[in-house]
Amino acid sequence: MPGKYRRHFDPEWETSDPEFLRPKLEERLRAQLVYTYENSPLYRRKFDEAGVDPSGIGLDDLGRLPFTVKDEVRRTQEKTPPLGEHACVGWEEISRIHASSGTTGKPTLVGATICDRQMWNELVARSLWAQGVRPDSRAWVALSLGWWIAGLQFLEGLQYLGASVLPGGNTEPARSFSVVQETGLDFVISTPSFVQYLAGFARENHIDLKSLGVKNMGLGGEPGAGNPHTRRQIEDTWGCKVYDCMGTADVCTVVWSECEEQDGMHFMGQGFVLPEIIDPSTGSPIEPVKGATGELVYTAIWRECTPLIRYRMNDIIEVVGDAPCSCGRTSYRIRCLGRADDMLIVRGVNVYPSAVADVVRFFRPRVTGHIQIQADGPGPSVEPPVRIRVEYGEEKDLNRLKKEIEGRIRRELIFASDVELVEPGTLAPKGNMKTKLVVR
């Protein structure tokens, strides 16, 4: 007997052979490039300087287009506030303005028309449908509804999908747990840091998280949900399945999401965004085959207000699957290793903070799982021993714990560390904001 709901939110885009989609993608790419050239002073200059005719660019010609980087967006917004010279519409067409989280510097602003917001809703719906959300779901958006795009856009996307929604993560934790229990909410969208903060509050106040009835949880905004130790700890604590997802304020709050297989994040932006993988050092393209690693680049192909062309994300990812998934989706699958500007090089070894955090979280509940790497200087090179602050948890022998953590880091990540154990709560995120893993 068929299920009550279809398996995919948009089967045509999510499950079609990529070759079948090429003509549609080519058409949308050319239309977007011509539109952007005609309406954006920034891209008109960039294309002219590169000698590019936007009407002659196809999917195989993306390499002819110049990259766009975050600092470029910041500069153009300072020169032509508030949205910058890549904005393509006037105030009469702008429906909403958001800001990036500012994790990597001064926040940048993002504008959206009604059409842009509809696109965002579609991508959120595709992604959360893959995580098990359906129109009869009851979802808690445990994120700020402030200027950061994620909270409000997940709220709208869930409503677009048809789910019932409890908005906001700013409520005092005790009241939040009470409402979750009273309403029988079964899905949570949040960040790994915030649900771990909530778990700590629950532990201190003798709240049984498994009794709340949460079945599925989508976590993004920072690495964590894709790390085996972190995922297992959160699933065991909450008694639910955890799905990794990833996006960006500049494109959409979610562009990648795991499905029920939990085996890497599918690309969910078909028809709206083109992804590329490049070598972060040379800018050369990298084929999305299993085992490949590189930096993500996005090109908008269905955006009115603030389109970005070949926008370098600084996110370093690994392709974990390139064959069609058993869920029926045909995109390749990835996991996020971390940000290029957070990567450390310790005597020739590339070290991502998320990998360090994953090793430390093996020691739960003797540690809380919160860490912070102390890096000297602005560059990626760090001399060992690398200084790492770690919150201890249920542990009395701190000297023993320090030695065990340092030993495991040396065995698994091949570098020497100097672990400083700090009191619980020292490094935990405040409220539902993201954790900064590297301090320089």
CATH number for the domain spanning 187: value is 3.40.50.12780
Report residue 103's pLDDT band, with 50, 70 and 90 as the boundaries. Answer: low
For residues 332 and 345, the model is more confident at 332
Q: Residue 392's pLDDT band (boundaries 50, 70, 90)? A: very high
Nearest partner of 250 among 283, 270, 268, 273, judged by Cα: 273
Residue 166 buriedness (CB in 10 A; 0-12 / 13-18 / 19+): buried
Which pLDDT band, with edges at 50, 70 and 90, does 105 fall under? low
Q: What is the CATH number of the domain that holds 405?
A: 3.30.300.30
| Token duo for residue 18 | 């990529």
CA dist 167 and 297 (Å) reads: 31
Residue 250, pLDDT > 70, answer yes
pLDDT in tens, 85-98: 999 999 999 999 99
Identify the H or E element spanning 23.
helix 18-39
Residue 76, H or E segment: helix 70-79
Final residue of a domain: which of 294, 310, 340? Answer: 340
- Tell whether 241 and 360 lie within a shared domain: no
User: What is the share, in percent, of the chain residues with pLDDT greater than 90?
Assistant: 72
pLDDT band at 1 (very low <50, low <70, confident <90, very high): very low
Residue the block writes with tokens 């093996």? 362
1 in Cβ contact with 47 (< 8 Å)? no
Which pLDDT value is given to residue 345?
85
CA angle in degrees (0–180, nearest 5) for 267-268-273: 90
Q: What is the dihedral of CA 301, 303, 305, 308, to 10 degrees?
A: -40
Do strands 216-219 and 349-351 pair parallel, antiparallel, or not at all (unpaired)? unpaired
pLDDT for 9: 98
Whether 166 and 25 map to the same domain: the answer is yes
Euclidean distance between CA atoms 187 and 406, whole angstroms: 37
Which residues contact residue 78 at a Cβ distance below 8 angstroms, ignoring those fewer than 6 apart? Answer: none
Does the structure show a pLDDT above 90 at 119? yes
Regarding whether 272 and 183 lie in a shared domain, the answer is yes
As a whole number, the mean pLDDT across the chain is 92
Residue 201 shares a structural domain with residue 250:
yes
**pLDDT of 53 higher than 90:** yes
Rounded to whole angstroms, the Cα distance separating 34 from 162 reads: 35
pLDDT of residue 106: 75
- With the CA atoms of 430, 104, 335 and 432 taken in that order, what torsion angle do they form, in degrees rounded to the nearest 10? 20
Amino acid found at 321: G
Domain final position from 340, 371, 391: 340
What pLDDT is recorded for position 411?
A: 93
Q: Which has more confidence, 163 or 365? A: 163
Residue 150 CA to its chain's centroid (Å): 10
When mean pLDDT is compared across 332-336, 369-373, 430-434, the lowest value belongs to 430-434
In terms of domains, do 260 and 388 share one?
no
Q: How confident is the model at residue 102 (pLDDT cuts 50, 70, 90)?
A: low
Q: Which amino acid is at 438?
A: V
First-to-last C-alpha distance (Å) of the chain: 58
374 strand-pairing partners: 387, 439
* 432 pLDDT higher than 60: no
Query: Would the pLDDT of 152 be above 90?
Result: yes
Q: 3-class DSSP state for residue 203?
A: helix
Q: Are residues 428 and 284 in the same domain?
A: no
Average pLDDT over residues 301-322: 97
What's the number of domains the chain is made of?
2
pLDDT value at residue 190: 94
Q: Are residues 426 and 292 in the same domain?
A: no
β-bridge partners, 418: 387
- The whole-number pLDDT of residue 318 equals 96
Q: Are residues 89 and 237 in the same domain?
A: yes
Helix or strand (DSSP H, E) at 46: helix 41-50
CA angle 101, 107, 112 (to 5 degrees): 85
Q: For 263-287, what is the mean pLDDT?
A: 97
Its domain, for residue 30, covers 1-340
Lowest mean pLDDT among 23-32, 261-270, 349-358: 349-358
Does residue 323 share a domain with residue 236?
yes
pLDDT at 353 over 60: yes
Distance CA 24, CA 181 (A): 46
Q: Domain boundary residue among 314, 340, 366?
A: 340
Same domain, residue pair 251 and 370: no
67 lies in the same domain as 85? yes
Q: Are residues 95 and 159 in the same domain?
A: yes
pLDDT at 37: 98
* Residue 216 to residue 71: CA distance in whole angstroms: 37
